[in-house]
Amino acid sequence: MTSVDDVVLNFSPGSLQLLNAILAVVMFGVALDLSVEDFRRLLDRPRALFFGFVSQFVFLPAATFVLVLLIEPAPSMAVGMILVAACPGGNVSNFITHRARGNVALSVSLTAVSTVCAVIMTPFNLAFWASLYEPVQPLLAATSLSPWDMAFTVAILLVVPLILGMLVAARLPALAARLRGPMKPLSMLILALFIVGALAANFQHFLNYVGLVASLVFVHNGVALLGGYLLPLAGGLPEEDRRAVSIETGIQNSGLGLVLIFNFFGGLGGMAIVAAWWGVWHIVAGLALAWWFARRPPPVADARPTG
């Protein structure tokens, strides 16, 4: 069986352009539910913002690096893990937070802020943590990885649609109201079908490595969800906030990860399979965690705003 580091997935330039467009549409749909007030709300709650940011962009990449050192996966899978950890929160985190009886307003705000911060933090975290792991250096040297080009790609695919969606919501509320209902579920369904189609086109590669990748993603995602809960717990945040930060940390924008993998790493198999399986598993794990949380309502005293 071919080494996972040597596997390149079958993905045409036309398919890449379609994936880019789908991700931009997904982000536009998410932005229809956002407003400037979502950003202002976090400024009124600096502790929640601090722990949400630290959990997403400091704890998870650092914990991922430690996992890579402990598990020593194939280099392409190691870079895939680091890239997923460097991505911002995923688009379904707000729905899952609602199901978990978490702080939905905090979840929405953190999704918006992490999306904007990803322009800088995603390429920085990928370049920084990957540079510390010596086994991946030959792989990185063989790719066209440019943090500046990656930042530009993230801005075009995430921030521009975010701004456009927020402008439509603010300036054309009637149109936004008509789009809001079908846009998000439809765009997410299209993205899910596209990922399934991409896996189907490379099904043999997926079957060859799914056992290894599934166990790796299971542990990685578990660390993200648990750490994302314990960090704000240590910081004294109320239960609703802890649930929101946990889910924001464990639900990553793996669609963005796939776009970056095909744009900058040529569809490297180990990376792509890790990101694609994360995109499947984080929804399963997130919904299971939400079910568990939903059976345990937050204490009334914990449902207070915090600074």
Q: Where residue 11 falls among pLDDT bands split at 50, 70, 90?
A: low
Q: How far apart are CA 166 and CA 160, in angstroms?
A: 10
Residue 302: its pLDDT value, please?
52
Tell me if 279 sits within 8 A of 195, measured CB to CB: yes
Residue 201 has a pLDDT of: 63
* 4: CB partners within 8 A, 6+ apart: 74, 76, 77, 208, 209, 212, 269, 270, 273
Please write down the long-range contacts of 212-218, taking CB distance under 8 Å and 24 or more positions apart: 212/4, 212/73, 212/77, 213/77, 213/273, 213/274, 213/277, 214/277, 214/281, 216/71, 216/73, 216/77, 216/81, 216/274, 217/274, 217/277, 217/278, 217/281, 218/281, 218/285
Mean pLDDT value across residues 79-106: 88
Residues whose CB is less than 8 angstroms from the CB of residue 193 and which lie 6 or more positions away in sequence, other chains included: none
Angle CA(61)–CA(137)–CA(252) in degrees, nearest 5? 25
What percentage of the chain has pLDDT greater than the value 90?
A: 33
Q: What is the pTM of this model?
A: 0.84
Give the fold, CATH level 3, of 12-134+145-298: Na+/H+ antiporter like fold (1.20.1530)
pLDDT tens digits along 137-182? 887 776 766 778 888 888 888 888 889 988 998 898 888 888 887 8
**Mean pLDDT of all residues in 23-42:** 78
Asked whether residue 81 carries a pLDDT value surpassing 90, the answer given is yes
Q: Tell me the per-residue pLDDT of 194-239, one tens digit each, with 9 for 90 and over.
A: 766 666 666 666 667 777 888 999 999 999 999 999 999 999 999 9
Mean pLDDT of the chain: 83
Contact criterion met (CB below 8 Å) for 139 and 7: no
| Higher-confidence position of 52 and 150 | 52
- Name the one residue in this structure whose structure tokens are 């932005």: 31
Q: What number is the average pLDDT over the span 86-108?
A: 86
Mean pLDDT over residues 91-95, rounded? 81
